[in-house]
Structure 1
Amino acid sequence: MGELRKPFLLLAMLAIVLAVGVELGAGLLTGGGDAAAALRDSADALDVELGDVAGVSEPSGRGTGYLALVDAVAVWSTGLYCLSLVLPDRLHGRVQGVATLIFSIVLVVVSLIALVVAFVELSVMVSLFLAAPFGTLAYLALWGFFPVGDATLLLGLALLLKLAWAALLILAQPRFLQNKGLVLLTLTTLLCTVLLEFLHRLVPVILVSILDDVGALVFAVVAIVWGLVLLIGSIPAIVKAVRVTAALPARRT
Structure 2
Amino acid sequence: MGELRKPFLLLALLAVLLVVGLELGAALLTGGGDAGGALRDSAGQLGVELGDIGSVTQPSGRGTGYLALIDVVALWTTGLFCLSLVVPDRIQGRVQGLATLVFAVLLLIASVVLLLVAFVELTVLVSLFLAAPFGTLAYLAVWGFFPVGDAAVLLGLVLLLKLVWAGLLVLAQPRFLQNRGLVLLMLTTLLCTVLLEFLHRLVPGILVSITDDVGALVFAVVAIVWSLVLLIGSIPAIVKALRTTATTSG
Provide the residue aligned with 2:214 in structure 1.
214
- The CA deviation at 1:167 is 0.2
- The CA deviation at 1:2 is 3.3
* Secondary structure of 1:164 counterpart: helix
* Secondary structure of 2:90 counterpart: helix
Distance (Å, rounded) in 1 between the aligned partners of 2:190 and 2:28? 23
* Secondary structure of 2:228 counterpart: helix
Provide the residue aligned with 2:183 in structure 1.
183
Q: When the two structures are superposed, what TM-score results if normalisation uses the length of structure 1? A: 0.98
Distance (Å, rounded) in 2 between the aligned partners of 1:2 and 1:124? 54
Aligned residues: 250
Distance (Å, rounded) in 2 between the aligned partners of 1:177 and 1:105? 27
* Secondary structure of 2:223 counterpart: helix
The letter for the 1-side match of 2:125 is: M
Is it true that 1:89 corresponds to 2:89 in the alignment? yes
Q: When the two structures are superposed, what TM-score results if normalisation uses the length of structure 2? A: 0.99
The letter for the 1-side match of 2:26 is: A
The letter for the 2-side match of 1:144 is: G
What is the Cα-based RMSD across aligned positions, in Å? 0.6
Provide the residue aligned with 1:246 in structure 2.
246
* Secondary structure of 1:123 counterpart: helix
Provide the residue aligned with 1:145 in structure 2.
145
Distance (Å, rounded) in 2 between the aligned partners of 1:44 and 1:12? 50
Provide the residue aligned with 2:45 in structure 1.
45
Distance (Å, rounded) in 2 between the aligned partners of 1:12 and 1:221? 26
Deviation per residue, 1:177-230 (Å, 9 max, x gap): 000000000000000000000000000000000000000000000000000000
Deviation per residue, 1:130-151 (Å, 9 max, x gap): 0000000000001000000000
- Runs (4+) of structure 1 exceeding 4 A deviation are none
**Unmatched tracts of structure 1, length 5 or more:** none
The letter for the 2-side match of 1:42 is: S
Distance (Å, rounded) in 1 between the aligned partners of 2:41 and 2:248? 75
For 1:84-233, what aligned pairs fall within 5 Å after superposition? 84-233=84-233
Deviation per residue, 1:55-101 (Å, 9 max, x gap): 11000000000000000100000000001011110101111100000
- The CA deviation at 1:249 is 2.1
Deviation per residue, 1:116-137 (Å, 9 max, x gap): 0000000000000000000000
Distance (Å, rounded) in 1 between the aligned partners of 2:89 and 2:48? 69
